[in-house]
Structure 1
Amino acid sequence: MAQGRHWSTEPTRTPGLTLSLLGPVEAHRDGRPLHLGGAKPRTVLTALLLARGRVVPDSELTALLWGDAPPATSPAQIHTYASRVRQLIGPAAEVERRRPGYLIRLPHRGVRVDLAEFQDHARRGAAALAAGDPASAARLLRGALAVWRGVALGGVCEPLVRLERDRLEEERLVALEQRIDADLELGRHTALIPELTALIAANPLREGLRATLMTALYRAGRQADALAAYRAARATLDEELGIEPCAELRRLHQAVLTGHPSLLTTRTPHHRSLPGSP
């Protein structure tokens, strides 16, 4: 879905309206849950939030709610779902009919959207890491990841899940990789090894994670294990995709083989630019 204006990313300091997408889709006012109903009103709310102030046409909402088989009454049902969301989250946020569809208006203060908070912390964490401040980066990126409560977009209709969930999960994984990079620069290589091992088991094609594990193992004095990690990466890529490791992973392998001094510097190798899943 295309995105328009940005949400406010200033955290809400006082109780107010909270709209949550990074886990089950939920809404809370002053800490108390609002009853959104079933998957369809949750889908309407989610689609409007992801549009960030852009009008979401009725045709797009129809596809997100029913896929290729909408009922004849779909316009009336969309109106009902939008009205329900308007009643629940108003007056702090406004759901407005703007032909050919609907949009949501959020104030600059008083409404917290967890996705906006995550993206703001992740952006600032990435900037701190690039600027050579791994301590700030690790703190900000941990804060970003702590916003997640589970698998994003829980409880919405399947067409919206197929359209958006993988993109949001990729954002989470990138932030996680950057947080791990920050911890590596802070000398936490030994503590990172079990976490990286588990992440690679769940995401075996992310070469950036493979590179970080190799570096962490080498810095922990486990050169043989670092070389074994490369062999495992190469075997997996060949078996799953029929390709060799990328050039940067091959260069890292050569550096581990020769014991290159750069592997022990506080700045990590350039594997942050390694591709994730193809």
Structure 2
Amino acid sequence: MAGWTYGRRQGHFLAIGTPEEAQRKFQTELKTLDGKTVKIPESSDGKWTVISFVPTGAGNGYLQRYASFVSARPFQDTNLIVAVLDDDVETAGKLLKEKAAELEKRRQQPDSFPTLLVPGGLQNPIVRKLGMITDEEKPKNNILMLRPDGSIAVALSGLVMGAQKGSVIQNVIEFHDEEMIDKALAKGDLDEAKRLAFAHAPVEQVRPEDAPRNWKPKKLTVPHLRSRAKVYLAMGELKAAQADIQEVYLKVNTAAGYISMRTEELEETEALKATILAALEKEE
């Protein structure tokens, strides 16, 4: 296998962020700068919790790229948290003020999520438990994602995060979105499947009155389009299902071609496409 092919495959499969099947529970306590305790996952309010562990209060800006993704979700179901692996309140506060001043200078929006402190810093047991990699000179991004029920979806060390090039947080959450729609269809609850599918992949996107000047319609992703195709199939709207699955197929096939292999996702998409086409032929 060519080196570039291996690198592409490695980056692809790491970015997929396939959720853990084992139901590992996670509990810890973090601190605000004013000393208040934040219990995880009790404080999550039944939402996804994404924690980026960083060496200092300066952060690394990684979660900022997901702020728009989180705010655009139809259900406000995701919390983002930066957790500093240093419990020196004074130092963290100073770095956060410097960061805020720099963002203001650049006319950039401040972080929309909290920065909390890990009690005991690097000596906290969760560092070893999660296999974190820490390096102040070359800060590594250690990510923990908790499902709404508090179980671990993925725990990615700095080594893994350094190798993957995709949007792993988005991929994991949208994998779950599709899974919820699949479960609704399996139970015969078409109304619930429709509610979820059309919320994540609306047929029409109207520009809000208070939308910013650079507003653009939400770009529909593969899991959401594929879910909508499944719902259209269940509804008997076969032409609409065919249009969606064809768009999904082109995207998935292109991704598979990029890494020069037939992926499981491609095979599943082809099977769904064949099912929809067979239903269309039968109808005609």
Q: TM-score range by the shorter chain?
A: 0.3 to 0.5
- Pick the structure with greater CA Rg: 1
**Higher helix fraction (1 or 2):** 1
TM-score when scaled to structure 2?
Answer: 0.39
